[in-house]
């Protein structure tokens, strides 16, 4: 990322793209396109580095199979593959749940898993889209008792959308400003590509991808890149 400098807003992102594209005719790359590239870059960075990692803790409701993701895990993007989803049993021990999907359950368990009397400590979880409630997380089997704070999910949050000129990338964690230059590299890659400057586009693509590797390693090693990630010590008891 040598040669870049830090910035704080979408407008400064646009200005930097313009600075590196003075040979392009005015209007050949619109601000709308640039904004889309910036948002695409932020999303790609989060997906590939897990840089917005946090967790949700919520209560189980007796005989309730599914929970609305937006309610239990705000800004949800994806389940963290390392920590996943946990269930706390009546002995206060945490157990990691197996990830599955409704098709697998239908094919391997038949229709019985959908019955209301299919109760017990959950052993699996799955994501699905409800026609009116949107994305949900379901459990199999379902618990027949209501318990407080017995479901935990470590997940990656969606980055904030850059819309207005004063919006700042990764506003959920200002520590990530260190990697704002990668958004510029991504935007320049796409801008050069659009204008047919393919050799230049390749330079910025490599700049972005190389920086992404470094970012992924830093996120893995530095807890400051995981906003709100402060689980109690018993959270990790399932590892034992």
pLDDT tens track for 138-157: 999 999 899 999 999 999 99
Q: Where are the domains of the chain?
A: 10-50+160-225, 53-157
Q: Is 170 left (phi over 0), alpha (psi -120 to 50) or beta?
A: left
Q: Does the predicted model carry a pTM greater than 0.95? A: no
- Average pLDDT rounded to a whole number, residues 210-229: 76
Q: Length of the chain in residues, anyone?
A: 240
Q: How far is CA 222 from CA 32, 50, 73, 127, 214, in A?
A: 34, 12, 23, 29, 12
Q: What percent of the chain has pLDDT over 90?
A: 53
pLDDT for 68 beyond 50:
yes
pLDDT of residue 189 exceeding 80, the answer is yes
Tokens of 85: 């989803």
Question: Mean pLDDT throughout 93-107?
Answer: 94
- Name the region of 38 (left: φ>0; alpha: ψ -120 to 50; beta: rest): alpha
């Amino acid at each position: 990322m040598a040669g870049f400098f830090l910035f704080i807003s979408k407008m400064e992102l646009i200005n930097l793209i313009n600075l590196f594209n003075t040979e392009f005719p005015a209007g050949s790359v619109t601000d709308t396109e640039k904004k889309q590239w910036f948002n695409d870059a932020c999303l790609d960075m989060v997906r590939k580095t897990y840089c917005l990692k946090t967790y949700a803790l919520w209560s189980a409701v007796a005989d309730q199979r599914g929970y609305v993701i937006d309610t239990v895990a705000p800004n949800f993007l994806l389940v963290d593959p390392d920590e996943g989803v946990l269930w706390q049993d009546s002995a206060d021990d945490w157990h990691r749940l197996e990830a599955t999907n409704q098709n697998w359950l239908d094919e391997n368990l038949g229709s019985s898993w959908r019955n209301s009397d299919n109760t017990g400590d959950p052993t699996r979880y799955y994501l699905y889209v409800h026609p009116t409630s949107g994305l949900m997380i379901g459990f199999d089997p379902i618990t027949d008792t209501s318990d407080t704070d017995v479901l935990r999910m470590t997940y990656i949050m969606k980055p904030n959308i850059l819309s207005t000129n004063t919006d700042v990338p990764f506003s959920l964690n200002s520590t990530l400003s260190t990697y704002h230059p990668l958004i510029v590299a991504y935007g320049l890659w796409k801008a050069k590509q659009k204008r047919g400057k393919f050799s230049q586009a390749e330079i910025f693509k490599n700049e972005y991808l190389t920086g992404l590797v470094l970012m992924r390693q830093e996120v893995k090693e530095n807890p400051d890149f995981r906003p709100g990630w402060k689980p109690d010590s018993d959270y990790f008891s399932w590892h034992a």
